[in-house]
């Protein structure tokens, strides 16, 4: 049994994965890393077989792997098609005439040699199965061991694996027969185990309280991957805030924490009534966001995106603009300010979100213009494993210098509007970023194991003199432990919106704090 398990795992790595190795080698061109990828894949396939090992499941499981493995290899090689959940769905839902359209002698060759032949061998093989008790012991012994071997192997090449998992995600689609198996699992989950949630409006009771004088104009900047400890405002030894450091009106929150470690979690969470502890992606996406609630209250809202999109936060409001693709090459964040003066021409209570490209990695060097290249030399590739830690940090720090200039520009814009508006600016980065500490790069680690670098983003706030909130009061909160949980109710308060969703304990501007 163990021999079958080891030989079949080896066979899969050697004979069913040349597309995967070919594509990986084209990117990494690193033989030791290719060997490591093979070894990891071997352990992983062995692990799957160990999990599925029992008298009743071992043979059917292996036969399934050989059959799908042989076909998926053919389709990958010939058409570059990947057998994912959508393909599995196609396979289940297709009819004979469609399937026969794909038939030819070459696919038959793959199927006979790599699918049917090993399947027949497995079928005929006499296996001395373990008893139930032996099987439990076998699993308890080998599952942790294989997991440990995988972790150790990944750790040895952690830089390359970071690129592999984060930057070259599509590469793993070519691992065989693991990816088709994953596709099948995903298909089953989607088809049979996903509840369809209805969108539920919340905060429809929101009302804008009447206030004396000029209307308010609030700009909320969502930063990208900007870690607090790389801002000189927060004590970083390098001068990454050449402009803001001279600004005595602003407050930099030095102890501010994020909801998630990646954009797809942090951004919806920041604008959700749910706190980090209660946050669930599926739930948050099916209830009104802060932007919706402001909209219900009659606040004029606008979301401008230079990142990916609003992650479902601003999909229901009228004024949403994605500037990506509207520039020659990548748009600079400054571009989001174009035309803003027109938008705010008629005085009305207004809330604007600017979603930055900021410090999006790994190609930090692409995020800023030459004038912000303060630290050199910089890493000029997306393969961080080819760069020194210093050059990666240099490029990253230059993105902070660019953000410093961008925030200064946003503040200047608001100052120009002060004759007609009471103005405010709040910058909160979505999450932090790892820059090679303990071999970890980028972000997105599960919250409970993520280092502080990923969970501790920068946040800066400023109020115009007649806004009704004093900058000195904010300075008192400079060192207080705060988080993105405070955004929802603080903004409601600052915008004078009254709703039952408001929670005074999570309001930065409440005198209670
Ligand atoms: Zn992000």
Measured in Å, residue 379 CA sits from the centre of ligand 1 at 20
Under 8 Å between Cβ of 492 and 286: no
| Cα–Cα distance measured from residue 88 to residue 111, given in angstroms and rounded to the nearest whole number | 17
80 Cα: distance to centroid of ligand 1 (angstroms) = 30
Burial of 69 (0-12, 13-18, 19+ CB in 10 A): buried
pLDDT tens figures, 34-46: 999 999 999 999 9
SS3 sequence of 214-267 = CCEEEEEEEECCCEHHHCHHHCCCCCCCCCHHHCCCCEECCCEECCCCCHHHHH
Give the distance (Å) from ligand 1 centre to CA of residue 400.
14
Residue 261 alpha carbon to ligand 1 centre in Å: 8
**118-122, 166-170, 286-290, 472-476: the lowest-pLDDT one:** 166-170
Give the Å distance between the CA of 455 and the centre of ligand 1: 11
CA of 266 to the centre of ligand 1 (A): 7
CA 356 – ligand 1 centroid, Å: 9
Residue 417 and residue 411: Cα distance in Å, rounded?
A: 10
Q: Tens digits of per-residue pLDDT, 328-344?
A: 889 999 999 999 999 99
Question: Euclidean distance between the first and final Cα of the chain, in Å?
Answer: 65
Rounded distance from Cα 227 to ligand 1 centre (Å): 11
Q: Over the stretch 398-419, which tens digit does the pLDDT of each residue have?
A: 999 999 999 999 999 999 999 9
In the reported structure, the alpha carbon of residue 403 is separated from the centroid of ligand 1 by a whole-number distance in angstroms of: 14
Residues near ion ligand 1 (Cβ under 5 Å): 224, 263, 430
CA distances from 395 to 240, 366, 376, 415 (A): 11, 9, 7, 31
Radius of gyration of the chain (CA): 27
Is the distance from CB of 259 to CB of 483 less than 8 angstroms?
A: yes
Task: Give 270 Cα–ligand 1 centroid separation in angstroms.
Answer: 12
pLDDT digits (tens, 9 = 90+) for 84-109: 776 776 666 654 544 555 667 888 89
β-sheet bridge partners, residue 401: none
Taking the centre of ligand 1 as the mean of its atom positions, its distance from the CA of residue 29, in whole angstroms, is: 29
262 alpha carbon to ligand 1 midpoint, in Å? 5
At CB < 8 A and 24+ separation, what contacts does 471-476 make? 471/249, 471/250, 471/251, 473/509, 474/251, 474/508, 475/251
CA 433 to ligand 1 centroid distance, Å: 9
330: left (phi over 0), alpha (psi -120 to 50) or beta: beta
Which phi and psi angles does 105 have, rounded to 5°? -70, -25
Of 190-199, 204-213, 310-319, 473-482, the one with minimum mean pLDDT is 190-199
Q: What is the 3-state secondary structure (H, E, C) of 121-174?
A: HHHHCCCCCCCHHHHHHHHHHHHHHHHHHHHHHHHHCHHHHHHHHHHCHHHHHH
- The upper half-sphere exposure of residue 508, i.e. CA atoms within 13 Å in the direction of its Cβ, equals 32
What is the Å distance from ligand 1's center to 312 Cα? 14
Closest by alpha carbon to 484, among 511, 454, 506, 512? 506
* Interval between CA 218 and ligand 1 midpoint (Å): 22
Distance 402 CA to ligand 1 centre (A): 17
Distance (Å) from CA 44 to ligand 1 centroid = 30
Q: Check residue 82 and give its pLDDT.
A: 72
Distance 434 CA to ligand 1 centre (A): 12
Distance from Cα 444 to the centre of ligand 1, integer Å: 9
Tell me, in angstroms, the distance from the centre of ligand 1 to residue 167's CA: 14
CA atoms within 13 A on the CB side of 44: 21
Surface-to-core class of residue 152, CB atoms within 10 Å of its CB (0-12 exposed, 13-18 middle, 19+ buried): exposed
Phi, psi of 281 (to 5 degrees): -55, -50
Q: Which pLDDT belongs to residue 97? A: 45
Residue 362 alpha carbon to ligand 1 centre in Å: 12
Bond from prior residue into 163 cis (ω within 30 degrees of 0): no
Q: How far, in Å, from the CA of 225 to the mean position of ligand 1?
A: 5
User: pLDDT per residue over 187-244, tens digit each?
Assistant: 888 778 877 778 999 999 999 999 999 999 999 999 999 999 999 999 999 999 999 9
C-alpha 472 – ligand 1 centre gap (Å): 30
Most confident of 277-286, 295-304, 446-455: 295-304
> Ligand 1 centroid to 226 CA: how many Å?
9
| Residue 9 contacts residue 66 (beta carbons within 8 Å) | no
Residue 91: per-residue pLDDT: 67
Q: Which two tokens stand for residue 485?
A: 């949980």
Q: State pTM to two decimals.
A: 0.72
Provide the CB-side half-sphere exposure for 87 (13 A, CA): 16
From the list 169, 406, 199, the residue with the least C-alpha distance to 284 is 199
Measured distance CA(313)–CA(320) in Å, rounded = 10
Please name the residues in contact with 302: beta carbons below 8 A apart, sequence gap of 6 or more.
317, 319, 320, 321, 343, 350, 351, 352, 353
Q: 46 near 149, Cβ under 8 Å?
A: no
Rank 150-154, 284-288, 402-406 by mean pLDDT and report only the highest.
Answer: 402-406
Q: For tokens 């050989």, what's the residue? A: 66
**For residue range 490-503, what is the model confidence (pLDDT) as tens digits?**
999 999 999 999 99
Query: CA 260 to CA 266: how far, in whole Å?
Result: 5
Name the average pLDDT for the chain: 91
Ligand 1 centroid to 210 CA: how many Å?
A: 36
Q: Calculate how far, in angstroms, residue 332's C-alpha sits from the geometric centre of ligand 1.
A: 16
């Amino acid at each position: 049994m163990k021999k079958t398990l080891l030989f079949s795992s080896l066979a899969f790595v050697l004979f069913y994965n040349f597309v995967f190795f070919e594509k990986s080698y084209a990117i990494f061109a690193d033989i030791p890393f290719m060997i490591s990828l093979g070894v990891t894949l071997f352990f992983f396939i062995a692990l799957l077989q160990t999990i599925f090992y029992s008298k009743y499941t071992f043979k059917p499981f292996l036969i399934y792997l050989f059959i799908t493995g042989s076909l998926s290899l053919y389709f990958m090689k010939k058409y570059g098609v990947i057998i994912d959940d959508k393909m599995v769905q196609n396979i289940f839902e297709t009819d004979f005439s469609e399937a026969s359209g794909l038939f030819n002698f070459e696919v038959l060759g793959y199927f006979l040699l790599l699918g049917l032949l090993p399947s027949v061998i497995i079928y005929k093989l006499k296996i001395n199965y373990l008893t139930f008790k032996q099987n439990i012991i076998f699993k308890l012994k080998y599952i942790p061991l294989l997991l440990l071997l995988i972790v150790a192997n990944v750790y040895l090449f952690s830089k390359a694996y970071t690129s592999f998992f984060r930057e070259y995600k599509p590469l793993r689609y070519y691992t065989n027969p693991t990816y088709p198996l994953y596709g099948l699992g995903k298909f089953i989950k989607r088809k049979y185990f996903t509840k369809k949630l209805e969108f539920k409006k919340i905060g429809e009771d929101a009302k804008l309280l009447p206030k004396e004088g000029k209307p308010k104009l609030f700009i909320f900047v969502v930063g990208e991957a900007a870690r607090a400890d790389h801002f000189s405002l927060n004590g970083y030894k390098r001068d990454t805030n050449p402009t803001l450091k001279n600004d005595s009106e602003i407050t930099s929150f030095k102890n501010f924490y994020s909801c998630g470690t990646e954009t797809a979690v942090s951004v919806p969470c920041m604008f959700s009534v749910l706190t980090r502890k209660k946050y669930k992606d599926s739930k948050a996406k099916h209830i009104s966001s802060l932007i919706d609630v402001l909209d219900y209250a009659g606040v004029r809202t606008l979301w401008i995106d230079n990142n990916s999109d609003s992650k479902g936060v601003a999909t229901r409001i009228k004024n949403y603009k994605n500037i990506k693709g509207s520039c020659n090459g990548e748009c600079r964040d400054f571009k989001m300010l174009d035309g803003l003066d027109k938008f705010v021409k008629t005085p009305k209570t207004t809330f604007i979100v600017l979603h930055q490209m900021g410090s999006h990695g790994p190609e930090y060097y692409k995020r800023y213009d030459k004038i912000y290249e303060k630290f050199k030399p910089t890493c000029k590739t997306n393969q961080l494993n080819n760069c020194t830690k210093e050059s990666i940090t240099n490029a990253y720090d230059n993105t902070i210098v660019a953000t410093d200039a961008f925030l200064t520009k946003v503040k200047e814009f608001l100052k120009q509007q002060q004759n007609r508006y009471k103005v405010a600016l709040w910058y909160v980065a979505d999450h932090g970023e790892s820059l090679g500490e303990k071999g970890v790069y980028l972000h997105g680690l599960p919250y409970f194991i993520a280092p502080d670098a990923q969970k501790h983003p920068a946040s800066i706030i400023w109020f115009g003199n007649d806004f009704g909130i004093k900058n000195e009061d904010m300075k008192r909160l400079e060192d207080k432990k705060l988080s993105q949980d405070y955004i929802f109710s603080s903004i409601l308060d600052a915008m004078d919106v009254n709703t039952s969703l408001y929670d005074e304990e999570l309001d930065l501007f409440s005198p209670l704090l």
